[in-house]
Structure 1
Amino acid sequence: MTADIASVPAQFLLAVRRDEPVASLLERLAAVDPDDLSAALNSDDARLAFWINLYNGVTQWALDADPERYENRRTFFSTPLVTVAGSDLSLDDIEHRILRRSYSKYALGYLRSPLRDRFCERYELDARDPRIHFAVNCGAESCPAIAAYTADRIDEQLDWATEGYLAQTVEYDPDAGVVRVPRVMLWFRGDFGRKRDILAFLERYEQIPPGVTPRLSYRDWNWSMHREQYADSEIAAEK
């Protein structure tokens, strides 16, 4: 039972995609014992898959139920939408307090909040992984495609998601010495590191050639709502 709870967000996400009932899955998440959840989420791989799937599933589920929620995005992201182990969580809780370890979304990702939620701190990642920004989908047109992630393959899956998103959004102009990158690399610059770290990240995913040091330029972000922006192929979750 303890191990099974780790796969519930993936099942929930796929049920939302297929327009299947989700009440029993939400009940399981709400009722799970906090210690059992800790035992199931015993690595960053497990935590990444669990919380990314939950974030994406809850976002689509909430927007499917009431698309008008998106008109006030600040409230949409900050209002509790799902209960896990008896704690009510918002999308901001999942993304910024758990996945991003309470690094402020208002300080370019450089400052960690001194006022941390005990529940979120218990289940947060041991280290930030900037690739989450190419996996979490908040419902906007500029967001990455949604897939169901699995703990045993999360590293390669995040590489796949990152590679695909960057291939669609990065533009390198060698003559001008400029590389145009997704705006999340500015908003959460601290997650990616210094400029040289960002350039190394872009080189890793073959968006710039080795050894170049172009200036960074940031794309505009399209906040228009785009629901059901799923990847072409599903990653099967065990049921």
Structure 2
Amino acid sequence: MTRFFIFLFVVLTTTSVLAQKADHTLWNTVLQNHVSNKGQVDYKTIKSNPNQLLTYLNTLTNNAPDSDWTREETLAYWINAYNAFTVQLIINNYPLQSIKDLKNPWDKKFITIGNKTLSLNQIEHDILRTMHEPRIHFAIVCASVSCPKLSNSAYTARDLDIQLNRATRAFLNDPSKNNIEKNKLELSKLFKWFTTDFKQNGSLIDFLKQYSDIDISKKAKIVYKDYNWNLNE
């Protein structure tokens, strides 16, 4: 009998821990149904039927990461949260031409996670960037043409490294975002705004060489492209 109660306690404890970890399946469904392979988002249709998105956001609200989560689980949660709440911000104000039509969109505190109310900037700068994973900048999306494309698959702990590598390579080697030559780089301003994140283990060019299809010279000249803030639809 004692063994049975010990077994039951272990099962219930394990189930409780697992229940705390957010399920991103519903977000994956939203992405599959409303985001193209090129990252274009059908905000109009999501706005007309937002139930799946709102249910997923409620899941995030009620399942905040804690110390029992792995680094991968935590990163996947916050990347998905940033993107999903960005979509909510857009549909709440749709139609609009640009996220920058809104007043202080990244500082607006409209995201409820557990007992906290956060802004997109807080998720990006106070949480994600402090985890020292520079590839997050190609996974979180600011709803604009010059941003990395919104993946039409949710990020998961199991596949996170593969997904982040894929997102980084896709962004860097996309000629609409960056023009890469051996001795000249025309880069997205993302690399200027967050340059310290990309220099954690060397120079910016050292980082780029890991993901570029072209062998970049360490002496390559760098210029930064104008940023297109039009909506990614």
2:127 corresponds to: 98
How many residues of Structure 1 are paired with residues of Structure 2 in the alignment? 196
The one-letter code of the counterpart of 2:26 is Q
Determine whether 1:219 maps to 2:225: yes
1:11 corresponds to: 26
TM-score by length of 1: 0.71
Structure 1 residue corresponding to 2:147, chosen from 138, 143, 147: 143
Q: Deviations over 1:180-225 (max 9, x none)?
A: 1221110111001179521112211134416542121112111112
Structure 1, unpaired ranges of 5+: 102-124, 228-239
Aligned partners of 2:185 and 2:200: how far apart in 1? 15
The one-letter code of the counterpart of 1:78 is D
RMSD after superposition:
2.6
Structure 2 residue corresponding to 1:170, chosen from 178, 185, 206: 178
Aligned partners of 2:93 and 2:32: how far apart in 1? 16
Aligned partners of 2:190 and 2:222: how far apart in 1? 12
1:66 corresponds to: 93
Structure 1 residues 167 and 181 mapped into 2: Cα distance closer, same or farther (>3 Å)?
A: same
Structure 2, unpaired ranges of 5+: 1-15, 34-45
1:56 corresponds to: 83
Shift of 1:56: 0.6
Determine whether 1:157 maps to 2:163: yes
Counterpart mapping for 1:189-204 below 5 A: 189-193=195-199, 197-204=203-210
Aligned to 2:196, what secondary structure does the other structure show?
helix
Given that 1:203 and 1:210 are in contact with CA atoms closer than 8 Å, whether structure 2 keeps it comes out as yes
Aligned to 1:151, what secondary structure does the other structure show?
coil
Q: Deviations over 1:9-28 (max 9, x none)?
A: 55346437644514443334
1:120 corresponds to: none
Structure 1 residues 29 and 203 mapped into 2: Cα distance closer, same or farther (>3 Å)?
A: closer
Determine whether 1:129 maps to 2:143: no
Aligned to 2:66, what secondary structure does the other structure show?
helix
Aligned to 1:216, what secondary structure does the other structure show?
strand
1:206 corresponds to: 212
